[in-house]
Structure 1
Amino acid sequence: MPTRERKPNRLLAWERLQRGWSHEELARQIIAEMERRGDKDTGLNRNTVRRWETGERRTDPRYRKYLVAVFGKPADQLPWWRAGRPAWTGRRFSGNSSSWGRVRSCYLSLI
């Protein structure tokens, strides 16, 4: 069985470190934002954040909207929108550029 190459999410780590936060603090910030919005805690902890940064796991879509709020930046300026593709796909979008724009707009409207 082929193994997937782990790609560290250095940009997520950069955003966290720019604020002087530990993995634990970022997890706390996300949980606080979830509670503010009335969402349930899903077991997020410092190890989850560490795994996102090391590439052991991808940032789960349910947490992305909270990262947008916690970092105070638009989604397209955060790590999962780099290189012209969302991080969760693992490959380039195969449609034309106008299709990609619609997909991106739809995603951004959900967060």
Structure 2
Amino acid sequence: MRKIFLVEDNEAIREVLEIFLTSENYDVKSFATAGEFTERDIHETPDLYLFDVMLPDGSGIDLCRQIKEDHDNKNIPVIIMSAHAGLVHFENLCEPDDFISKPFDIGNVLDRIRKLLN
């Protein structure tokens, strides 16, 4: 079972993504804040990271940059989600493997995840 780490502060969006991705046979571990994500078990590695840009205590862009700079994680795909910015606004700050604009179509999210994991 493929594992996804999700960082999303909006509880409703986080729950919808968790339920949907779990129903598609993904193991989803979710975090509501950058701080929760930072305190995770670093020995547990996902197959994909899914980060919201705007978090109450940080930025998904910063998390993306940390992942991409980490030798052990740099090849793991990162998807950034945002309602307020486009990829052009932060592509020089981090290099995500994909970008999803909010609001999103859940089928499109699944297609993008599948594409990156195959």
TM over 0.5: no
Higher relative helix content: 1
TM-score, structure 2 as length reference: 0.30
Higher relative strand content: 2
TM-score, structure 1 as length reference: 0.31
